[in-house]
A and B are shown apart, each in its own frame.
Chain A
């Protein structure tokens, strides 16, 4: 059974960089059939796709966040990461890491989510 688990600080100061890591177990991050991505949900709001990456490092990002987002993959640790620069209170959200299957690009596994609050 594939499992994903997010980790990282729960509090980030405005203008700083948010950094999260997702650890994958029960499956290899080096699969050609999958992308590894991030979705967030601000309090009381809907889900927003942030972006994703495959094991070769090919990336796709939400254009509204593209100038501030970066993702990376560490195949040796079976992990992938998200950085979001210059954060504001609007970036406060629960951040989910997800696995996306290339066929129909469905998110078939999700992490439980981690709340990141942007506040001084």
Chain B
């Protein structure tokens, strides 16, 4: 199995802050890396796929980067709607695996 890790596991931030989350795979996954936002009781939302491609309708303040084993998700200016948990997911191998999540909460 491809193991995914994320850091930090949680972070506190304020509206307007720049936020960065990192995701690491234990082997190369090329650019087969997706990012999701999840709020309690809601359907998770795809933000970024193929490491850096913005999903349709996702605000441009979200940016993904990386390839191989190291990836990042950056929110350029945190908005009130962005407080949520963020997950990375590899789709390089059909046994898809997710990172443990990063919870972004209000400072």
Binding site for B on A (CB under 8 A): 4, 46-49, 60, 62-63, 96, 101, 104-113
Q: Choose among A46, A62, A101, A111 the residue that contacts B43 (Cβ–Cβ < 8 A).
A: A111
Q: Choose among B42, B45, B95 the residue that contacts A49 (Cβ–Cβ < 8 A).
A: B95
Interface size class for chain B? Answer: 20 to 34
A101 neighbours in B (Cβ, 8 Å): 49
Q: Choose among A60, A63, A107 the residue that contacts B89 (Cβ–Cβ < 8 A).
A: A107
CA distance A39 to B10 in the complex (A): 22
Report yes or no: A106 in contact with B46, Cβ–Cβ below 8 A. yes
Q: Chain B's interface: helix, strand, loop or mixed, by majority? A: loop
B89 neighbours in A (Cβ, 8 Å): 47, 107
B36 beta carbon closer than 8 Å to chain A: yes
CA distance A113 to B43 in the complex (A): 7
Report yes or no: A106 in contact with B43, Cβ–Cβ below 8 A. no
Q: Choose among B43, B55, B87, B95 the residue that contacts A112 (Cβ–Cβ < 8 A).
A: B43
Of all chain B residues, which has the CB nearest A108? B46
